[in-house]
Amino acid sequence: MDNFELIDLLCVIDACTSDRSAGRLVPMSKAVEELRVLTGDFVSSDEDATNALTHVALERGCAVLFDEQTGADIIAEF
């Protein structure tokens, strides 16, 4: 999370979370894109953005859908 402001991460997670029958779900492809637009940071790696966003999403009780990589059907819930 060092590259990103917490307030930006929170705003993106709140904006990208959708309510599904399985619970609150955050698709990472959409969240990373929104974070880049909000912050203007097109230099940080997708992995760094995903890691920061995932941490915040899980802390807020959301499930995370990693939909831009191999194993895109994996949903993380902790």
Give the mean pLDDT of the chain.
86
Residue 49, domain extent: 6-76
Q: Given the DSSP bridges, would you call strands 63-65 and 23-27 parallel, antiparallel or unpaired? A: parallel
- Do the domain assignments include residue 12? yes
d(CA 67, CA 27): 6
- Do the domain assignments include residue 54? yes
Over pLDDT 70: what percentage of the chain? 82
Q: What mean pLDDT do residues 28-46 have?
A: 94
- Do the domain assignments include residue 1? no
Identify the pLDDT of residue 70.
47
- Do the domain assignments include residue 34? yes
Under DSSP, the state recorded for 24 is E
pTM to 2 decimal places: 0.81
Total number of domains in the chain: 1
- Bin 12: left if φ > 0, else alpha if -120 < ψ < 50, else beta: alpha
- Do the domain assignments include residue 61? yes
pLDDT band at residue 54 using 50, 70 and 90 as cut-offs: very high
Identify the pLDDT of residue 22.
62
Per-residue pLDDT at 57 exceeds 70:
yes
